[in-house]
Amino acid sequence: KMRSEKIKQTSAGWKHILLLGCDSQIVEEYERSDAILVLSINRDGAVRLTSIMRDIRVDIPGYGKGKINAAVAYGGPELAMRVVSEYFDLQIDKYAMVNMKGMVNIIDLLGGIDVEITEEERVFINHCAVDVQRIIRDERVIQPLEHTGLVHLCGAQAVGHMRNRTNGADYMRTVRQRQVLKAIAKKIRTKKNLPQLFRLAIEGIKLPRTNLNLMDLAQIFLLALRQ
């Protein structure tokens, strides 16, 4: 409830984009969304990222009561936008949906990201990155992480980190998801060359399923530079 009210209080003057992370490796199919976040951008340039717990029970039009992460499986991102909009009293008409392979590619396109991790997280990442590579059929050799603290993660390692609910259950998984997304934004800020940013936007729009256009992505990239 507190999380719901927090989002509602920020709705005036904000543009909201639904971010969905799913496991499906088949473009034409939808599965329940492991990650559900709302990216909120204010007309003054402020940016907020809010996680939605996937087990919240909501009314799903045409399907009755169910977990909020089932909406995308039942009716794709359009139904997910409708459900999140109605439950949190928002106006959401933009989304970006990415599977594991897409997220790995986005992070690798940026040259990896830097993230603070604990020893427990290091062990999990080394194990899970191998599973991520197997699922997406990536045969590249990844060197296991040997240190904690601030480490450099490739795409498969970062996605493995985002999937971790062993250390801290679902709540900590949402923390790790935001951590990775913020690290992506931070990495974008290092790309000060505007033509380079434009090329990233062109490549990035090919990877997720989204109704964002190139101008939308360019605006998000420019806002990331200002943070």
Q: For residue range 80-120, what is the model confidence (pLDDT) as tens digits?
A: 999 999 999 999 999 999 888 888 988 998 889 999 999 99
Q: For residue range 54-63, what is the model confidence (pLDDT) as tens digits?
A: 889 999 999 9
Q: Would the pLDDT of 161 be above 90?
A: yes
Q: What's residue 219's pLDDT?
A: 72
Q: Would the pLDDT of 143 be above 60?
A: yes
Are 213 and 199 in contact by the 8 Å Cβ rule? The answer is no
Are 79 and 69 in contact by the 8 Å Cβ rule? The answer is no
The pTM of the full predicted model, rounded to 2 decimals, is 0.83
Q: How far apart are CA 134 and CA 31, in angstroms?
A: 19
Alpha helices in 46-168 (DSSP H): 71-88, 100-109, 119-136, 155-162
Are 180 and 115 in contact by the 8 Å Cβ rule? The answer is yes
Provide the token pair at 206: 């090919």
Are 41 and 91 in contact by the 8 Å Cβ rule? The answer is no
Q: For residue range 196-222, what is the model confidence (pLDDT) as tens digits?
A: 667 777 766 666 788 888 777 767 766
- Give percent above pLDDT 70 in the chain: 81
Q: How far apart are CA 89 and CA 105, in angstroms?
A: 33
Are 47 and 227 in contact by the 8 Å Cβ rule? The answer is yes
Q: For residue range 32-69, what is the model confidence (pLDDT) as tens digits?
A: 888 999 999 887 777 888 999 988 999 999 999 999 99
Instruction: Specify the amino acid at residue 180.
Output: V
Span 135-153, average pLDDT:
94
Are 20 and 54 in contact by the 8 Å Cβ rule? The answer is no
